[in-house]
């Protein structure tokens, strides 16, 4: 399955391991140099590690081009910081908006949110526990499914994946799987052809490769 997949480079982490993992599952990966290059992509991936402020580099024309591709039905996958960017924003950079295709704000593990989430109270179990929590959250942890979705097809609830992050997304109606680390947070989200994973599939062995294959199925 050789599909052209755009991997957005906004200088938030090394793309090499992501490129290798995508090549392993049969993707034809390219890094667009300008927003117009996204027109040829069958799917778009926004990776990233680090501070939410790094996403400022994909404001403006990049955001518009990504929203256009979503509007055309092309799938979008956010990885780690890229998943957080799918939401309305993050307390890590309070004045910087996210893409806003998913409701809610990201917040620091073990911390107090600066602004309330725009999600209903029924989905409010994303609050963190009172006990101290190690931040950043680095290493292997499991994902527990709330419900099934195409992005996790063939992946078992309780599968171990690799995390490295300090901020998390809230539990909302778009949550597919959650993870416990000083509290419960969304580790996989999906709404139609928009998906995100808080962990790094490129570092998560066969489970991560299966998720990337599932994304290619969405793109195909």
- Give bridge partners of residue 184 from the DSSP assignment: 180
Condensed to tens digits (0 to 9), the pLDDT of residues 128-172 reads 444 578 999 999 999 999 999 999 999 999 999 999 999 999 999
What would you report as the CA-atom Rg of the chain, rounded to the nearest whole angstrom?
16
Whether pTM exceeds 0.85: yes
Locate 62 and state its tokens.
Answer: 């990049």
pLDDT tens, per residue, the chain with 220 residues: 578 999 999 999 889 999 999 999 999 999 999 999 999 999 999 999 999 999 999 999 999 999 999 999 999 999 999 999 999 999 999 999 999 999 999 999 986 555 444 444 334 444 444 457 899 999 999 999 999 999 999 999 999 999 999 999 999 999 999 999 999 999 999 999 999 999 999 999 999 999 999 999 999 8
- Compute the C-alpha angle 176/180/183, nearest 5°: 110
Closest by CA to 65, choosing from 25, 10, 14, is 10
Catalytic position from the list 61, 64, 80, 193: 80
Catalytic-residue membership of 137: no
Check if the beta carbon of residue 17 is closer than 8 Å to that of residue 202: yes
From 2, 106, 200, 217, active-site residue: 200
Per-residue pLDDT tens digits for 172-190: 999 999 999 999 999 999 9
Top-tier CATH class for 4-219: alpha beta
Q: Which of 88, 165, 202, 217 is catalytic?
A: 202
Q: To the nearest whole number, what is the mean pLDDT of the chain?
A: 92
* Range 40-61 burial, b when 16+ CB lie within 10 A, else e: ebbbbbbbbbebbebbeebeee
Q: Which two tokens stand for residue 83?
A: 């998943």
Spans of all domains in the chain: 4-219
Torsion of CA 102, 105, 109, 114, to 10 degrees: 180
Alpha carbon distance 151, 124 (integer Å)? 23
Region of residue 182 (left: phi > 0; alpha: psi -120 to 50; beta: else): left
Active site annotation includes 106: no
Residue 27 — left, alpha, or beta (φ > 0 → left; ψ -120 to 50 → alpha)? beta
Q: Are 208 and 201 in contact (CB under 8 A)?
A: yes
Structure tokens at 187: 């580790």
């Amino acid at each position: 399955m050789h599909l052209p997949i755009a991997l957005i480079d906004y200088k938030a982490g090394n793309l090499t391991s992501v490129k290798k993992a995508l090549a392993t599952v049969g993707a034809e990966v390219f890094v667009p140099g300008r927003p117009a290059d996204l027109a040829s992509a069958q799917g778009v991936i926004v990776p990233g590690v680090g501070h939410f402020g790094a996403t400022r580099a994909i404001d403006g024309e990049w955001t518009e081009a990504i929203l256009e591709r979503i509007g055309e039905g092309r799938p979008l996958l956010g990885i780690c910081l890229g998943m957080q960017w799918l939401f309305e924003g993050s307390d890590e950079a309070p004045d910087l908006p996210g893409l806003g295709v998913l409701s809610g704000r990201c917040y620091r593990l073990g911390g107090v949110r600066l602004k309330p989430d725009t999600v209903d109270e029924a989905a409010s179990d994303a609050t963190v526990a009172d006990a101290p929590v190690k931040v950043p959250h680095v290493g292997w942890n499991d994902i527990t499914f709330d419900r099934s979705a195409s992005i996790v097809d063939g992946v078992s609830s309780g599968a171990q994946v690799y995390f490295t992050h300090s901020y998390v997304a809230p539990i909302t109606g778009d949550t597919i799987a959650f993870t416990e680390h000083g509290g419960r947070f969304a580790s996989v989200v999906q709404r139609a052809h928009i998906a995100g994973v808080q962990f790094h599939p490129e570092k998560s062995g066969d489970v991560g490769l299966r998720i990337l294959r599932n994304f290619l199925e969405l793109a195909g």
